[in-house]
């Protein structure tokens, strides 16, 4: 009879839980990377607005309305960057919590895998003892037949 780990279904469950937690973490990391990309794009957009405004001021005179509109657009960019940074901070906290959850799941899985490894080692040692015992019995039977 082959080795059978009695907690194999629990081990599979722990592996799947760890995988799902890892996927959640990857999703959060991906979301944070997207937010950071949006922050970079918004900052670049704000810089382009500033450069555009400076170029227009050098070349021609702007009306007060156009100037106020340009300033409002820059403020909107600043506000967007602040919101995105707040979202990144919140997401970073979620990532830290998710990493802790993933670590717990990994420890749970490793405990069961270590238990399985120990049980397999005991099973193999017992199988080796049985095989050795059978070999010794066979040797003694042959020896007894030769001597009789």
Q: What is the DSSP code (8-state) at residue 60?
A: S
d(CA 133, CA 36): 67
The number of helices, as runs of H, and strands, as runs of E, in the chain is 2, 0
pLDDT digits (tens, 9 = 90+) for 53-68: 887 778 777 777 888 8
Q: Are 46 and 77 in contact (CB under 8 A)?
A: yes
Maximum C-alpha span of the chain? 124
Residue 118: the pLDDT is: 94
Asked whether residue 74 carries a pLDDT value surpassing 80, the answer given is yes
Residue 40: the pLDDT is: 96
Q: State the average pLDDT for the chain.
A: 92
Residue 20: the pLDDT is: 97
């Amino acid at each position: 009879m082959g080795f059978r780990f009695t907690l194999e279904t629990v081990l599979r469950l722990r592996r799947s839980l760890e995988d799902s937690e890892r996927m959640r973490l990857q999703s959060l990391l991906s979301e944070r990377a997207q937010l950071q990309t949006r922050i970079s794009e918004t900052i670049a957009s704000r810089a382009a607005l500033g450069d555009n405004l400076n170029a227009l001021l050098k070349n021609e005179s702007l009306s007060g309305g156009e100037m106020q509109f340009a300033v409002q657009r820059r403020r909107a960019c600043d506000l967007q960057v602040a919101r995105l940074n707040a979202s990144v901070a919140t997401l970073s906290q979620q990532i830290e919590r998710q990493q802790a959850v993933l670590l717990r799941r990994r420890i749970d899985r490793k405990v069961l895998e270590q238990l399985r490894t120990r049980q397999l080692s005991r099973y193999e040692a017992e199988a080796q003892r049985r095989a050795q015992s059978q070999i010794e019995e066979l040797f003694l039977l042959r020896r007894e037949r030769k001597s009789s």
